[in-house]
């Protein structure tokens, strides 16, 4: 029991280091949260760029900011309906 408490209170040289590390991680996510408006803009621009080369299903397009653990990714699911004929081969 005593050992449990000493471990609880002395891990990692004081709880402040735990606090700092937890804050660092949570703020990465907090700061990266993007507004729905920005997400819409991003979608529109992605559609524009990709449409130059492929036919895509705009209504089924999904763009999301995905975060797990301490990493983050912009995940896009873009259903392709067909390829455009290359202007020059």
Contact residues toward another protein (CB under 8 A) are: 9, 13-17, 19-20, 22-24, 26-27, 30-31
| Closer residue to another protein (CB): 16 or 85 | 16
Q: CB of 56: closest distance to another protein in angstroms?
A: 32
Contacts of 34 (CB under 8 A, 6+ apart): 42, 65
**Based on CB atoms, which residue is closest to another protein, 15 or 41?**
15
CB of 24 to another protein, least distance (A): 7
Give the residue with the Cβ less far from another protein, 33 or 48: 33
Report the distance separating Cα 77 and Cα 1, nearest Å: 52
Q: Kindly state the smallest distance separating residue 13's Cβ from another protein, in Å.
A: 6
């Amino acid at each position: 029991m005593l050992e449990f408490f000493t471990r609880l209170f002395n891990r990692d040289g004081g709880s402040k280091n735990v606090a700092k590390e937890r804050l660092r991680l949570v703020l990465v996510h907090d700061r990266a949260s993007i507004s729905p408006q920005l997400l819409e803009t991003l979608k529109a621009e992605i559609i524009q760029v990709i449409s130059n080369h492929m036919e895509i299903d705009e209504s089924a397009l999904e763009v999301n900011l995905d975060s797990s653990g301490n990493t983050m990714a912009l995940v896009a699911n873009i259903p392709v309906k067909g390829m455009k004929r290359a202007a020059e081969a």
